[in-house]
């Protein structure tokens, strides 16, 4: 696609439901998914027989080599449709890295094309028993042979490598990252379903943490959790006849790595090159620019991604995100700031893998954020993953 997204604002979110986010669940993930799906269908003013499309992404994002079982450690759309007793015409799953943004594009395209009228879009995240990422391998095969023999393994060391490159190049301090993480946890502490509700953090708490993958500490990574989010999407016309204020999808773009490297070898330049291409496509598709986004919800599965997305999408100059943050520029309680973590993000909610960014867009733009409702919010965006593997979706409540 070279220009404007033809289905711009023609598909909308009509309702949602979200489970409690918990560290360790009391029942199987699939049971929570079915119940949350029923709540979302009812929230949209629909019944299950009207749902003719199911779209999701089912990745269990761990390097720990855990067995994957549908309904237990993941929930696919086909599994969920069957347990709801639905008879869908359209069932698909997204296989890429930017799970929420990529799968959302499949749902939007299905409705825009007429492949489905009402799509149930979900994401179910599991926290497997035992260690999340520890891997007992003694033989490094395939892609792992190029990284594991030297001890380079897991996403967090990979992000730490790119983040330290940022620190070394631009002089970013731990205080700037502490401010970022404290902002995420502040907002997450105010969210009733968050795994971190009522548990904000101070800069001193952050600075006292050992740097396990220096320069990163444990608080720079989101906590593995169990939780389910479900959204119901339909056409803009149908959505206007349903109970909730529609939130329209204005466009989306994904990023792709442009350099060949060993698995998980993510460099700062590769992320920014992917981001430059993604950004160009996103603004062309939506006809918007960063200054028109009231609610940029940036992805923070690892806190350094906030710097990367701020700069890649043009919310500040390259190399200046850490200065912006230190001067209060992302404080969601400060008028005029960029509230990039107002929904708490992954660090403030738990590892919901792009859900908090999408949910905050939906809640604020539909006027359903309750005590946290922000005035005058018209247009937002939600990111997932990194700019060179993930994506961005732009939302609005004003389709004119």
- Residue 210 touches another protein, criterion: CB under 8 A: yes
252 or 307: CB nearest another protein: 307
Pick from 67, 85, 138, 371 the residue near another protein by CB under 8 A.
Answer: 138
Whether the bond between 215 and the residue before it is cis, its omega within 30 degrees of 0, is yes
Q: Is 148 in the site for another protein (CB under 8 A)?
A: yes
DSSP state of 226: B
Number of residues that bind another protein (CB under 8 A): 46
By CB under 8 A, tell whether 64 contacts another protein: yes
CB 194 within 8 Å of CB 21: yes
Q: How far from 220 is each of 33, 351, 397, CA to CA, in Å?
A: 28, 12, 32
Sheet strand arrangement including 53-57 = 90-94, 53-57, 118-125, 227-235, 11-18, 247-254, 391-396, 379-384, 295-297
Residue environment code for 27-58, b if the CB has 16+ CB neighbours within 10 A, otherwise e: ebbbebbbebbebbbebbebebeebbbbbbbb
267 sits near another protein (criterion: CB under 8 A): yes
Q: Give every CB contact of residue 239 below 8 A, 6+ residues apart in sequence.
A: 12, 13, 14, 246
Distance (Å, whole) CA 345 – CA 196: 11
Taking the complex as a whole, the smallest distance from the CB of residue 297 to another protein amounts, in Å, to: 28
Nearer to another protein, 239 or 272 (CB): 272
**Whether 90 contacts 234, CB under 8 Å:** no
Least Cβ distance, residue 64 to another protein (angstroms):
8
> Residue 304 or residue 380: which is nearer to another protein going by CB?
304
Q: 35 or 165: whose CB is closer to another protein?
A: 165
Among 72, 262, 373, 398, binds another protein (CB under 8 A): 262
- Contacting residue, 23, 199, 240, 261, with another protein by CB under 8 A: 261
Q: Considering beta carbons, is residue 118 or 389 the nearer one to another protein?
A: 389
Closest separation between CB of residue 312 and another protein, Å? 18
Of the pair 26, 139, the CB lying nearest another protein is at 139
Residue 160 engages another protein in binding (rule: CB under 8 A): yes
Binding interface with another protein (CB under 8 A): 63-64, 133-154, 157, 160-162, 164-165, 168-169, 210-216, 259-262, 265, 267-268
């Amino acid at each position: 696609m070279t220009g404007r997204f033809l289905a711009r604002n023609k598909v909308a979110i009509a309702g949602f439901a979200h489970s409690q986010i918990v560290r360790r669940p009391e029942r199987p993930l699939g049971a929570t998914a079915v119940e949350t799906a029923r709540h979302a269908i009812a929230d949209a003013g629909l019944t299950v027989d009207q749902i003719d499309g199911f779209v999701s992404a089912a990745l269990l994002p761990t390097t720990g080599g855990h067995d994957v079982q549908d309904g237990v450690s993941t929930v696919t759309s086909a599994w969920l449709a069957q347990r709801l007793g639905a008879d869908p015409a359209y069932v698909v799953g997204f296989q890429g890295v930017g799970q929420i943004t990529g799968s959302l594009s499949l749902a939007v395209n299905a409705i825009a094309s007429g492949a489905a009228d009402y799509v149930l879009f979900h994401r179910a995240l599991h926290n497997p028993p035992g260690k999340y990422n520890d891997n007992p391998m003694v033989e490094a095969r395939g892609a792992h042979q190029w990284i594991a023999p030297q001890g380079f393994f897991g996403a967090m060391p990979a992000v730490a490598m790119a983040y330290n490159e940022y620190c070394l190049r631009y002089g970013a301090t731990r205080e700037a990252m502490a401010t970022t993480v404290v902002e995420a946890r502040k907002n997450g502490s105010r969210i009733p379903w968050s795994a971190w509700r009522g548990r904000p953090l101070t800069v001193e708490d952050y600075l006292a943490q050992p740097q396990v993958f220096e320069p990163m500490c444990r608080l720079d990574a989101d906590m593995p959790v169990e939780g389910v989010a479900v959204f119901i999407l339909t056409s803009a016309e149908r959505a206007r006849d349903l109970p909730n204020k529609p939130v329209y999808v204005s466009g989306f773009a994904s990023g792709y790595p442009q350099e060949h490297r060993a698995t998980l070898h993510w460099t700062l330049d590769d992320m920014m090159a992917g981001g430059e291409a993604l950004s160009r496509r996103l603004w062309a598709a939506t006809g918007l620019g960063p200054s028109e986004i009231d609610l940029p919800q940036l992805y923070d599965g690892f806190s350094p991604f906030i710097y990367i997305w701020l700069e890649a999408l043009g919310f500040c100059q390259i190399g200046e995100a850490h200065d912006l943050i230190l001067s209060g520029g992302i404080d969601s309680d400060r008028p005029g700031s960029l509230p990039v973590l107002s929904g708490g993000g992954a660090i403030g909610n738990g590892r919901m893998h792009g859900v908090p960014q999408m949910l905050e867009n939906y809640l604020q733009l539909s006027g359903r954020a309750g005590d946290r409702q922000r005035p005058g919010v018209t247009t937002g965006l939600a990111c997932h993953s990194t700019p060179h593997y993930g994506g961005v979706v732009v939302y609005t409540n004003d389709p004119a």
